[in-house]
Amino acid sequence: MRILVTTHGNMAKGICSSYEMLAGSNNKIDYLTLDPDDTGQFKQRLTQKIEQDQDDLLILCDIKGGSPYNECFTKYLENPQKIRVVSGLNLPMLLEVGLSLLSEPSLDHITDLAEKAGRKGVCVAEDSVSSDQDIEF
């Protein structure tokens, strides 16, 4: 199982750097950025990264409907038994799925985990903390 992070600009590089700062290096996580002046290289580089090996692949994208997502979704449609695509990338999502790789989860399990962790990672701070509101990271 591998994870590929894809975004517009340098977000993918930055969030992977943050992951390493918090959780350590993980050679099962890679990233691919779409540069502003891209003229088709993203699609070629995506194909190369997918074809690196035959492991299952979870692709995390920044925005549904953006160019990185659309290219990754096309790859998913070509190989739905080996690839999943999740949009709405955030650091809690990446941390959860990256650390779960240690237990060798199934592709469906890690996809579900990405969605749940991504949603749980979004919250609004409130001006008071009650005893049942633990600070979580």
84: phi then psi, degrees, rounded to nearest 5: -130, 150
In the numeric block, which tokens belong to residue 26?
Answer: 């993980």
30-54 as b/e, with b when 16 or more CB fall inside 10 Å? bbbbbeeeeeeebbebbeebbeeee
What percent of the chain shows pLDDT beyond 90? 86
Query: Tell me, what's the pLDDT at 131?
Result: 57
Query: Tell me, what's the pLDDT at 83?
Result: 98
Helix (H) or strand (E) holding 31: strand 29-34
Distance CA 64, CA 62 (A): 7
Rounded to 5°, angle at Cα 12 from 19 and 6: 120
Q: pLDDT of 94-117, one tens digit each? A: 999 999 999 999 999 999 999 999
* pTM over 0.75, yes/no: yes
Domains and their CATH numbers in the chain: 2-117 (3.40.50.510)
